[in-house]
Chain A
Amino acid sequence: MTDPSAAATGDAVAAACADSYARIVAALIRVTGDWTLAEDCAQEALALALERWPGDGVPANPGGWLMTVARNRALDVLRRASVERRKLAELALLRLAGPEPATGEEIVDDRLRLVFTCCHPALSLDARVALTLRVVCGVPTADIARALLVSEATMTRRLTRAKTRIATAGIPYRVPTGPMLAERLPGVLAVLYLLFTRGYDADGEPALADEAIRLARLLVRLMPDQPEVAALLALFLLQHSRRDARRDADGNLLTLDRQDRSRWDHAAIAEAVDLLARARPAGPYALQARIAACHATAASAAATDWPAIARAYDELARIQPSPVIGLNRAVAHGFAHGPAAGLALLAEARAGGALDGYPPAVAAEAELTARRGDRERAAALFRRAAAMCRAESERRALLDRAADLSS
């Protein structure tokens, strides 16, 4: 497409879409209770915008235009289905970002209801991830299927089942309050975290990481009093800040010490550090973000504040013990207090057998063994870790380390 005005219209539709889709879907679900109708009407509004805006020009309030079109479409469908008058009246009053009907309840953004419903613990984790991408982020089903490595037919079925289950199991369209909010929020954040890692993994789909960051920003705006929400966004920004520097020219993954730090996204790092300063008390995500910030703000690999990282891992292992945190804690102590200290903690973390067959555990042992000076044994361990790896780029990086040590 060479026509600049057409391109500008395309950008305007894309921007209005990203901003409005979840609002429209969320508001229509609240009033109609019909998930499929809400999605269909939002899609039709976007399609109409693409058709009209190039000729008529972009309206002054694109979000309001889209909401009006989607609402009118929903009214048409429901009138034909002779839905009760109360619902129609409520729908007719619907405006973009309009106030809630006066029920005396606290005013809650519809999008937050949508997120909490999509991430309800009575849905499987797979269903939560798929629903969130489809309904909150507006990602087309075919794209979700591709990113999550299933067929489009399978993804369509998964989404339909999840929406049916919300209705039949009686999953409420509500943001929980009081102690239930504290219980549910980690489940919501876990979905975002999974989305991000699926996007940021070596062989992952990068668009998922962008969606996770966008969602985290939305949650930070909607729940400013929740320190773990801000901490999760900080963690995403810190990891994502290295996206352009973490591979060499051949696409091989580079470890932190070999990355060009000038290519890190320093604006994102500054934003994350600022978010983190306000994220108190420190929960599991804040501690992970603190660790990532120690790496991101070090002028060089040698200047990394390893004792601070080791302390954060000690705290993390205390409040959220897991074999992988035990592994990372061992690596941190290895840098802070010497390879012998690291190997001792690594043996401790492996004692339960949960890290058996986990390539990073073998790679960590290889790294610590190399730093203790046993190059031959370290090279053999790197080769063993490579043989266990699924992701090709990670496998190559490990074999390179083995070759370096053998030369």
Chain B
Amino acid sequence: MKYMMFVCSDTEPDTDRENWPDIEAWVAENDARGRRLTGDVLAETSAATTVRVRNGELLVSDGPFTETKEVIVGFDLLECADLDEAIEVARTHPMARAGRIELRPFADLADQPGD
């Protein structure tokens, strides 16, 4: 299954500062095992632009689409056997401790339960 892994900031990071995983090692291992297809880090939300069209009019505004303290700071596209494998990949990412990670499967898989 493909999962979009949203890497998010969090106002309450892990207070245990020991043995944090290294992001380079995480990328290398998951790339080598074919579980990470791609991924990148996003610029700060101050660089974001939100676009809408309403009644034919283009509305462009600065900033992200919602104002929250927790924001998406990066993403990785995963290919995993199931949720348990995706959770194992996510838990070893340093941002699982500095922030939080959301695992979202892709919608086209929702129509084919079971396999």
Residues of B within 8 A of A180 (CB): 84, 88
Whether B1 pairs with A170 at a CB distance below 8 angstroms is: yes
20 A-B contacts (beta carbon < 8 Å): A33-B113, A33-B114, A120-B83, A122-B83, A166-B113, A167-B113, A168-B105, A168-B110, A168-B113, A169-B83, A169-B105, A170-B80, A170-B82, A170-B83, A170-B105, A171-B83, A172-B84, A174-B84, A176-B84, A180-B84
B6 CB–A CB distance under 8 Å? no
Interface string of B92-115 (1 = CB under 8 A from A): 000000000001010001100111
Minimum Cβ distance to chain B for residue A187 (Å): 13
The answer for the CA separation of A148 and B20 in the assembled complex, in Å, is 42
B81 CB–A CB distance under 8 Å? yes
A34 CB–B CB distance under 8 Å? yes
- Assuming the A-B contacts A33-B114, A33-B115, A34-B114, are A168 and B81 also in contact, with contact meaning beta carbons closer than 8 angstroms in the complex? no
16 new A-B contacts, CB < 8 A, other than A32-B114, A168-B109, are A33-B113, A34-B114, A120-B83, A122-B87, A167-B113, A168-B113, A169-B83, A169-B105, A170-B105, A171-B82, A171-B83, A172-B81, A172-B83, A172-B84, A174-B84, A180-B88
B86 CB–A CB distance under 8 Å? yes
Residues of A within 8 A of B105 (CB): 168-170
The answer for the CA separation of A164 and B87 in the assembled complex, in Å, is 19
Interface string of A309-328 (1 = CB under 8 A from B): 00000000000000000000
In this complex, how many residues of chain A approach chain B with their Cβ under 8 Å: the count is 16
Find the A residue at minimum CB distance from B113.
Answer: A167
Interface string of A167-191 (1 = CB under 8 A from B): 1111110101000100000000000
Residues of B within 8 A of A169 (CB): 83, 103, 105
The answer for the CA separation of A171 and B86 in the assembled complex, in Å, is 10
The answer for the CA separation of A22 and B69 in the assembled complex, in Å, is 45
Interface residues of B in 55-99 (CB under 8 A from A): 80-84, 86-88
The answer for the CA separation of A166 and B76 in the assembled complex, in Å, is 22
Interface string of A103-127 (1 = CB under 8 A from B): 0000000000000000010100000
Residues of A within 8 A of B83 (CB): 120, 122, 169-172
The answer for the CA separation of A385 and B113 in the assembled complex, in Å, is 51
Find the B residue at minimum CB distance from A163.
Answer: B113
- Assuming the A-B contacts A122-B83, A176-B84, are A170 and B114 also in contact, with contact meaning beta carbons closer than 8 angstroms in the complex? no
Minimum Cβ distance to chain B for residue A74 (Å): 13
Closest 6 CB pairs of A and B: A33-B114, A167-B113, A172-B82, A170-B83, A168-B110, A170-B1
The answer for the CA separation of A316 and B47 in the assembled complex, in Å, is 51
Whether B115 pairs with A170 at a CB distance below 8 angstroms is: no
Residues of B within 8 A of A122 (CB): 83, 87
Residues of A within 8 A of B86 (CB): 170
Minimum Cβ distance to chain B for residue A168 (Å): 4
Q: Which of A32, A168, A171 has the most CB of B within 10 A?
A: A168
Minimum Cβ distance to chain B for residue A253 (Å): 41
The answer for the CA separation of A34 and B88 in the assembled complex, in Å, is 25
Q: Which of B80, B87, B88, B113 has the most CB of A within 10 A?
A: B113
The answer for the CA separation of A170 and B115 in the assembled complex, in Å, is 9
The answer for the CA separation of A180 and B92 in the assembled complex, in Å, is 14
